[in-house]
Amino acid sequence: MSEWFEFRFSEIIDLIGGGTPKTSILEYWNGDIPWLSVVDFNNGRKYVYDTEKKITELGLHNSSTKLLEKDDIIISARGTVGAIAMLAREMAFNQSCYGIRAKQDISTNQFIYYLLKDTVDNFLQISHGGVFDTITRDTFKEIDVLLPPLPEQKAIAGVLSCLDDKIDLLHRQNKTLEVLAETLFRQWFLEESDDTWEEGKLPDEFEFVMGASPPGASYNEQGIGIPMYQGNADFEFRFPKRRVFTTDPKKHANKYDTLISVRAPVGEQNMAQEKCCIGRGVAAFRYKKENHYYTYTYFKMKSLMEEIKQFNETGTVFGSISKSDFENIEVTIPQKKLINKFLSVVKPIDDKIIVNSFQIRSLEKLRDTLLPKLMSGEVRVRL
């Protein structure tokens, strides 16, 4: 480690501030320039490809926002502090974030990205503020980091980037496959629906279980018992993340059941990756007597989301949907032979999404294990 050198974080990067065009001036908005806020990259993925809002050239030039380049880094500095991503294209950004660019004679953007990921806890500990924690420019002056020589930095970033690139590829493949599966479902069961199909209610096609929360004393984060999911906070793409476990489950979902959040907000959707406990914020659905129809169940429930999400408007403070509300949802019931035909085409697509999702979890675990070891020098990369 003698050839590793200590720096203040502020010595190895250029820090760039953002801004917001005036929202009252319509000519500044709905242009072609992506404009970043934390909602666009608070998902743990390395790259951000697009933004929810866009601005015009006029908005860019008449505000304090600035353009970051491809492969520059963005970090959230207020509210949700410490979300980090790299830019897949040129983007502007708001004042709640900082743009970060490595000083090229000292480091690289790829290495700085992983260094930030490894030291984000230090930023959270030093962040300032009352109601909202805030990373300031001074925060970067308070954190010391060790840097290996530039060739080793590039090698370390190369190892971790290989894993992240594979993860990113699988995410993008999954997104494409899910759109394809959803399109085929819509074509077969909505656009080409038959007047002779039976009309019924949701329980005519599906069994479902409303969740119930276990006693608080049974909760743990050490993996004791079985995973428990409470709702939208646990949901990710397709499968929820394991966050809390319980030793005293009250209601269960089976492997590949469709999970729907039933409160605050209503209508977020996932799939159970294993037998699990569902809290009172979740309901689990499966096709009656045919558990291997999970692909049809998943996309049928997705097709009903517009109706389900209407219940976000009910309730005193937060929206919610009850068992009787689900029981009264009207559905068109296609013939079994058509469902089987659909499954013969779409289930292999859906199963590929599932396999990819499990592979993403494995690669993320490997990356997260390697990251601190490589950044501390515990594990060295041969040059």
Q: Residue 312 is encoded by which pair of tokens?
A: 């976000």
pLDDT band, very low/low/confident/very high, at 315 (cuts 50, 70, 90) = low
The pLDDT assigned to 113 comes to 98
pLDDT of residue 80: 86
Work out whether the CA dihedral 142, 147, 153, 159 comes out positive or negative. negative
What is the pLDDT, as a whole number, of residue 133?
A: 80
Judged by DSSP in three states, 20 sits in: coil
Given this model, what pLDDT does residue 79 score?
A: 84
CA 47 – CA 358 distance, rounded (Å): 20
Q: Are 72 and 27 contacting, i.e. CB atoms less than 8 angstroms apart? A: no
Mean pLDDT (the chain, rounded): 94
Structure confidence at residue 132 (pLDDT):
60
Query: What is the model's pLDDT at position 382?
Result: 84
The mean pLDDT of 224-246, rounded to a whole number, is 94
pTM: 0.88
What does the pLDDT read at residue 316? 53
pLDDT per position as a tens digit, 33-76: 999 999 999 999 999 999 999 999 999 999 999 999 999 999 99
pLDDT surpassing 70 at residue 24? yes
pLDDT in the model for residue 2: 63
The CA distance from 335 to 65, in Å, is: 56
Q: What is the β-pairing status of strands 258-262 and 282-287?
A: antiparallel
pLDDT digits (tens, 9 = 90+) for 283-294: 999 999 888 999
Name the one residue in this structure whose structure tokens are 């089987």. 340
> Can the peptide bond before residue 334 be classed as cis, meaning omega within 30 degrees of 0?
no
What confidence score (pLDDT) does residue 131 get?
53
pLDDT band at 383 (very low <50, low <70, confident <90, very high): confident
Rg (CA), the chain: 24
Q: Please say if the pLDDT value at position 177 is more than 70.
A: yes
Structure-token pair, residue 346:
């779409």
Distance (Å, rounded) from C-alpha 350 to C-alpha 248?
32
Q: What does the pLDDT read at residue 32? A: 97
Which H or E run includes 102? strand 97-102
Delineate the domains of the chain, giving CATH numbers in brackets. Answer: 5-147 (3.90.220.20), 151-191+335-383 (1.10.287.1120), 198-333 (3.90.220.20)
The answer to whether 238 and 271 are in contact (CB under 8 A) is yes
Nearest-angstrom CA–CA distance, 13 and 143: 12
Tell me: the pLDDT tens digits for 115-168?
A: 999 998 887 777 766 556 889 999 999 999 999 999 999 999 999 999 999 999
Q: How many whole angstroms separate alpha carbon 310 and alpha carbon 266?
A: 8
Write out the DSSP string of 262-320. EBSSEEEEEE-SSSEEE-TTEEEEEETT-GGGHHHHHHHHHHTHHHHGGGGG-SSSS-B
Assess contact for 53 and 37: CB atoms under 8 A: yes
Long-range contacts, stretch 125-128, CB < 8 angstroms, 24+ apart: 127/81, 127/82
